[in-house]
Amino acid sequence: MGEALAGHPRIGQRLSARDGNFSAGEQAGIDGADAQTLAELAAGNLEYERRFGQTYLVFASGKSADEMLQLLRRRLANDPAAERAVLRGELAKINRLRLERMLGS
């Protein structure tokens, strides 16, 4: 699963769509988030990585920074097996969206 996550930036990381990065548009809910929320996301990302050994991944399209932070906090309570299942589901949603965009559907 590590390779599948390698191309995904941390939630809340500032990105540029000019770089051809799909994540910039998908994480648009981060735009306008206050400094406190961004700091909590950054700290949560690090805690998640320590706990689960991988990048926190969430289907971010249509979600605000606060929503992504709340999901992160809830998922930190998962055991590793449950979190792997959630992670696979989130990755599937992201891949589906990107394929639909690429195919124009």
The domain locations on the chain are 2-103
What's the whole-model pTM score?
0.78
The DSSP output letter for 9 is P
- Under a CB-based contact definition with an 8 Å cutoff, are residues 67 and 33 in contact? no
Over the stretch 1-47, which tens digit does the pLDDT of each residue have? 555 555 566 677 655 554 445 555 556 667 788 999 999 999 999 99
* Long-range contacts of residues 22-25, Cβ cutoff 8 Å, at least 24 apart: 22/98, 22/101, 23/60, 25/61
Average pLDDT of the residues in 66-79: 97
Homologous superfamily of 2-103? Oxo-4-hydroxy-4-carboxy-5-ureidoimidazoline decarboxylase (1.10.3330.10)
* Mean pLDDT for all residues in the chain: 83
Helices 35-52 and 65-75, packing angle to 10 deg? 30
Say whether pLDDT at 100 is over 60. yes
Say whether pLDDT at 61 is over 70. yes
